[in-house]
Structure 1
Amino acid sequence: MTVTYDFGGKTAIVTGGARGIGRTVAQLLARSGADVWIWDADVVPADGTHSQTVDVTKASDIKNALTEIVAKAGRIDILVNNAGYLGPYRDFEAFDPAEWQRIIGVNLIGVFEITHQVLPVMRKTGSGRIVNMGSLAGKEGLPSLAAYSAASAGVIAFTKALSREVCDTDIRVNCVAPGPIDTDLIRRLGNKVVSDMIGASPLKRLGSVDEVAALVLWLCSDASSFNTGAVFDMSGGRARY
């Protein structure tokens, strides 16, 4: 069954939208009528969308890109905080501190920086949808991914806290926490790690970007008006709570 949405007249920002989950989300939003702006440090244009070069850890990049969108569209209706950096699969003691600082910077501080600037624009209309991409790692804490797990846990807690701050509006803030999804991000960990991840999954496979994107679009739609501060697993049954 194909589920369709009408996002006509909506303006959306998707961070990390050049590849993987973000790219699929951006394309589906565009096909559903949204005016989509992709923010990525390494832009790869997608049909039907606008692309801006944005480092999510740099407030100046965010400000410049957001100013352009607001000047043209006048509003932001959807924000998908998807930009992420997994880092190496390595014991924490072997990590270079600069590496885990980068992981925290992109995955957590980047969400802070972007939301801090976009949220006031949403407040002007009193409505909007914010979807933060977390991870199963943030719920369970995965060995050899300690920094990534910590950043993802921060995204989950931030989602819950912020949702309560904006309950006086029609702004909804939710989080999607995928398990291993079939993307370059995961495949770069190597065949052995990927095989172990599949073995740990009750469904015995990786998830697809289309499956994750379908959940994100639902959360961006009016069909999800009573959900806020929630964390939606996309783990093939692997998540235990």
Structure 2
Amino acid sequence: MAVTFDFAGKTAIVTGGSRGIGKAVATQLARSGSDVWIWDADPAPLDGTRSQTVDVTKAGDVENALREVIAETGRVDILVNNAGYLGPYRSFEAFEPAEWQRIIGVNLIGTFEVTHQVLPVMRKADSGRIVNMGSLAGKEGLPNLAAYSAASAGIIAFTKALSREVNDTGIRVNCVAPGPIDTDLIRRLGNEVVSDMIGASPLKRLGAVDEVAALVLWLCSDAVSFNTGAVFDMSGGRARY
């Protein structure tokens, strides 16, 4: 049974919203009436949304995109920090420093940069919803994904810290930590790795992007008034805590 929300009159920004989980989130927000702006380094058209070319690690890109959003709508009610980069599946010793720096840059620093610029807009309105996309890797630390695990753990800690800084406002900050979801990001790891992930899941399957999006939309809604600084896993029962 589909669960629907009414986001009419709300402005939402979804980073990394052209593909995978971000695309599902942007699509469901738009269907629920939100004015959705997708920020992506490689944007792809998506019906019912507006796309801007944004590298979330570059302050100038974020500033220019946010200026356009404010000029058009005058507000930002929802921010979904979804832009991410998984990197290769290999031991930490085999990583080139430039590779793990990119992983930390896109996932963690990108979340910092976007939030740092959008948060004052929400604080001025004394309301807003921020959903940061972490990962099961950030809760448990997954071998051969050390840099990604570290970046995801940083997002989780950032969510908890920031939520406490804005708890005197109507802004709520939460995190979603998916396990393996059926996206190109995961499929590119190869059939053997994907099979191992499915085998480790109590539900014996990958999650679907629409399942993750449904949780994100709830966290963006007015129903979430007492939840903040929380981490919601979407792991099919795989998370141990």
- TM-score between the two structures when normalised by the length of structure 1: 1.00
Cα shift at 1:159: 0.0
Runs of 4+ aligned residues of structure 1 deviating over 2 Å after TM superposition are none
- Indicate whether 1:29 and 2:21 are aligned: no
Q: Distance in 2 between matches of 1:67 and 1:107?
A: 23
Q: CA deviation at 1:170?
A: 0.5
1:2-22, Cα deviation, whole Å (9 max, x unpaired): 111000000000000000000
Instruction: Give the whole-Å Cα distance in 1 for the aligned partners of 2:4 and 2:206.
Output: 24
1:1-241 equivalences in 2 (<5 Å): 1-241=1-241
What SS does the aligned partner of 1:55 have? Answer: coil
- Quote the RMSD (CA, aligned, Å): 0.3
| Deviation digits for residues 14-70 of structure 1 (CA, Å, limit 9, x no counterpart) | 000000000010010001000000000001010000000000000000000000000
Q: Which amino acid aligns with 2:218?
A: W
Structure 2 CA distance, aligned partners of 1:92 and 1:170? 41
Instruction: Tell me the alpha carbon deviations over residues 77-124 of structure 1, each in whole angstroms, 9 at most, x when there is no partner.
Output: 000000000000000000000000000000000000000000000011
* Aligned equivalents of 1:16, 1:225: Cα separation in 2: 26
Deviations 1:176-201 (A, max 9, x none): 00000000000000000000000000
The 2-side partners of 1:211 and 1:27 are apart by: 13
C-alpha displacement at 1:224, in angstroms? 1.1
Secondary structure of the residue that 2:223 maps to in structure 1?
A: helix
Taking the aligned partners of 1:95 and 1:20, their CA distance within structure 2 comes to: 25
> How many residues end up aligned between the 2 structures?
241
Which runs of 5 or more residues in structure 1 are unaligned? Answer: none
Provide the C-alpha distance between the structure 2 equivalents of 1:24 and 1:186, rounded to a whole number of angstroms. Answer: 16
Q: CA deviation at 1:147?
A: 0.1
Q: Which runs of 5+ in 2 are unaligned?
A: none
Post-superposition offset of 1:218: 0.2
SS at match of 2:38: strand
